[in-house]
Amino acid sequence: MSDKNVLKFGTAKAGPGQRGTGYIKVGELCDGSPINMPVIILNGKNPGPKLLIWGLEDGDEYPGPLGALDAVNNILPKMLNEMRGSLVFLPATNIGAFRGNPFGGGQRNSPLDIDQGLRLPNLYPGNPYGRHTEQLAYQITQVKKEYDPDVLVRLHGCKQIYGWDRILITECPAGSPLDNLARAAVTKPGGMVILTFEERGKKEERPLEISMETNGGDNGVGNGFNGDAIRDGILNVMRHLKMIPGKEIKVDKIQYVAYKRGVGPGGFVSSSGIYSTKGGFFKSLVEIKDKVKEGQVIGEIRNFFGEVVEEIKSPIDGIVIGYYCEAPHIGSGQWRLFEIAQATEYR
């Protein structure tokens, strides 16, 4: 960025009051063809905070990016003359995984890594001389370093899970800047929970970071392609940051939850992912938002003959915030069957 008032990433460029679109080259295919990651820049007319949003780190998590694309393509461009600060959006960071297979449909990890075992969210700051997804992580990190955002929003979800939308943040005091930012991302009572986790390793002071996670259901619960909650949350976060005009929506009461590790038989279970040890047809015996007790049977696996071969029990007292829905059958340990979280605060 040679001019401090002009933002440029890859082929996208935007001066004050402008919207820019383009691509950042993040690799090459075996025939030398470029692998390009899309980028959208919204540069407000007036100085203010810098917001970085990225999505599709897991290439099959569509609803969040769809909601954000609605905001940056259809709503925010009309506000550029009033907008304070800037927004850089990387809608499909893991572009190889998003492309998936030639018959359509993304997949979780990129097929451009031969072993397909690399998860982009775990690879930052990346490696410019590593495997494809490590090089990709490095390119994304360079955008983050150059832009130096005040706030980073990561968009996630899980197409395999029927669940409750959530905002994921590190543990922080009530009323802190991070807590207030997370609350601004919730625009409807009961529409989202705030899921907190203990930070491991050194915590960055900048940027403030939240993950907005939706499975695309209506009214905050379900599975599908509805990104409205993320669109509305992003717009409200921008009101909270005083980037766009309008009164910030403040939800009076929000449920805070946390997962618990080291539970279940032998302490091997985390309530964030409860797996089966048998294969067969899976059925949940509970609904999203149900309160459950430790040891309660919450699901079952049946074989082809209708016999129950495994009962799935809750390892904690908690709230059901997600269960498996991608197919009627599942193999042992193939995917998490339940997400159970402890209620920590309601405020």
Instruction: Quote the pLDDT of residue 102.
Output: 58
Choosing from 220, 238, 256, the residue where a domain stops is 256
Same domain, 292 and 250: no
Contact of 147 with 49, CB cutoff 8 Å:
no
> Domains in the chain: how many in total?
2
Same domain, 295 and 147: no
Choosing from 217, 237, 256, the residue where a domain stops is 256
Instruction: Quote the pLDDT of residue 2.
Output: 45
Give a yes or no: residue 1 inside a domain. Answer: no
Burial 150-174 (b: 16+ CB within 10 A, else e): bbbbbbbbbbbbbbbbbbbbeebee
Same domain, 252 and 265: no
Instruction: Quote the pLDDT of residue 99.
Output: 87
Question: 34 Cβ partners below 8 Å, 6+ apart?
Answer: 25, 27, 28
- How buried is 33 (Cβ within 10 angstroms: 0-12 exposed, 13-18 middle, 19+ buried)? exposed
Structure tokens at 187: 């625009």
Give a yes or no: residue 146 inside a domain. Answer: yes
Contact of 13 with 6, CB cutoff 8 Å:
yes
Same domain, 279 and 228: no
d(CA 63, CA 228): 8
0.75 cut: is pTM over it?
Answer: yes
Same domain, 165 and 288: no
Structure tokens at 134: 């490590």
Other beta carbons less than 10 A from residue 328's beta carbon: 10
Choosing from 202, 225, 256, the residue where a domain stops is 256
Instruction: Quote the pLDDT of residue 206.
Output: 81
How many residues make up the chain in this entry? 347
Give a yes or no: residue 79 inside a domain. Answer: yes
Backbone angles phi, psi at 309, to 5 degrees: -100, -15
Low-confidence ranges of the chain (pLDDT < 50): 1-2
Question: 142 Cβ partners below 8 Å, 6+ apart?
Answer: none
Give me the amino acid identity at 4: K
Give a yes or no: residue 134 inside a domain. Answer: yes
Q: Which residues pair with 256 in a beta bridge?
A: 194, 345
Same domain, 267 and 125: no
Give me the amino acid identity at 186: V
User: Could you list the residue range(s) of the whole structural domain that residue 287 is in?
Assistant: 260-346
CATH of the domain at 298: 2.40.50.100
Same domain, 133 and 19: yes
